[in-house]
Amino acid sequence: MSSQRANSLIPCLLSKFRHGRHLYRSYCRPSVNPITRINPRRNNSTSTDNLQEPLSYCKNLVQRLDPEAWLCSYFWPEQERKWFLAWRAFNLELHLISTTLTQPALAAIRYQFWRDALNSAFAKTNAVTQHPVIILLSDMAKNRPVQKYHLSQAIEVRASKIANPPSSLTFETHLNNYSPLSSSLLLGPLPILVPPSSPESAHLSHTLSHLSHLSTVVTLLRSIPITVSHKKLNIPSDVCARHGIVEEEVYRRGGEAKGVRDACWEIGTRGMDELITARRDLQSTKGRVKPISAMPLFLHAVSAERYLHRLESYDFNVFHPDLQKHDWRLAPRIWWRYQTNTL
The CATH number given to whatever domain includes residue 283 is 1.10.600.10
Residue-wise pLDDT tens digits, 230-239: 899 999 999 9
pLDDT of residue 127: 86
In a domain, residue 98? The reply is yes
Task: Kindly state whether residues 195 and 230 are assigned to the same domain.
Answer: yes
Task: Kindly state whether residues 342 and 254 are assigned to the same domain.
Answer: yes
pLDDT of residue 49: 63
> For 41-63, what is the mean pLDDT?
72
pLDDT band at 165 (very low <50, low <70, confident <90, very high): low
Task: Kindly state whether residues 120 and 208 are assigned to the same domain.
Answer: no
Domain stops at, among 136, 163, 190: 163
Q: Taking the CA of residue 29 as centre, how many other CA atoms within 13 Å lie in the half-sphere pointing to its CB?
A: 12
In a domain, residue 14? The reply is no
Task: Kindly state whether residues 179 and 323 are assigned to the same domain.
Answer: yes
pLDDT band at 316 (very low <50, low <70, confident <90, very high): very high
Task: Kindly state whether residues 272 and 181 are assigned to the same domain.
Answer: yes
pLDDT band at 241 (very low <50, low <70, confident <90, very high): very high
Residue 305 has φ and ψ, to the nearest 5°, of: -65, -40
Cβ-contact 230, 182 below 8 angstroms: no
pTM: 0.84
Task: Kindly state whether residues 38 and 176 are assigned to the same domain.
Answer: no
pLDDT of residue 15: 44
In a domain, residue 69? The reply is yes
CA–CA distance, 15 with 38 (Å, rounded to integer) = 31
Task: Kindly state whether residues 155 and 179 are assigned to the same domain.
Answer: no
Task: Kindly state whether residues 172 and 159 are assigned to the same domain.
Answer: no
> For 257-273, what is the mean pLDDT?
96
Q: Is the pLDDT of residue 55 over 80?
A: yes
Which range, of 54-58, 123-127, 147-151, averages the lowest pLDDT? 123-127
Buried b (16+ CB within 10 A) or exposed e, 276-302: ebbeebbeeeeeebebebbbbbbbbbb
Domain stops at, among 163, 179, 214: 163
CA–CA distance, 9 with 21 (Å, rounded to integer) = 21
In a domain, residue 312? The reply is yes
In a domain, residue 3? The reply is no
My answer on whether omega of the bond before 77 falls inside 30° of 0, hence cis, is no
Q: How far is CA 170 from the centre of its chain?
A: 23
Buried b (16+ CB within 10 A) or exposed e, 58-83: bbebbeebbbbbbbbbbbbbebbbbb
Residue-wise pLDDT tens digits, 76-135: 999 899 999 999 999 999 999 988 888 889 999 999 999 999 999 999 877 899 999 999
Domain stops at, among 130, 163, 196: 163
pLDDT of residue 163: 67
Task: Kindly state whether residues 228 and 293 are assigned to the same domain.
Answer: yes
User: Using CB atoms within 10 A of its CB, is residue 11 exposed (0-12), middle (13-18) or buried (19+)?
Assistant: exposed
In a domain, residue 219? The reply is yes
Task: Kindly state whether residues 184 and 93 are assigned to the same domain.
Answer: no
CA–CA distance, 157 with 102 (Å, rounded to integer) = 17
DSSP H helical segments within the chain, as ranges?
3-14, 52-65, 67-73, 78-100, 104-122, 132-143, 148-159, 171-186, 190-193, 201-229, 237-243, 247-253, 260-281, 295-298, 300-313, 330-340
Task: Kindly state whether residues 195 and 343 are assigned to the same domain.
Answer: yes
Amino acid occupying residue 146:
V
Closest by CA position to 214, among listed 291, 149, 153, 303: 303
CA–CA distance, 22 with 216 (Å, rounded to integer) = 27
Task: Kindly state whether residues 108 and 143 are assigned to the same domain.
Answer: yes
> For 155-179, what is the mean pLDDT?
85
In a domain, residue 38? The reply is yes
Q: Which domain holds residue 52?
A: 30-163
pLDDT of residue 32: 31
pLDDT of residue 221: 97
Number of separate domains in the chain: 2
Q: Is the pLDDT of residue 54 over 50?
A: yes
In a domain, residue 185? The reply is yes
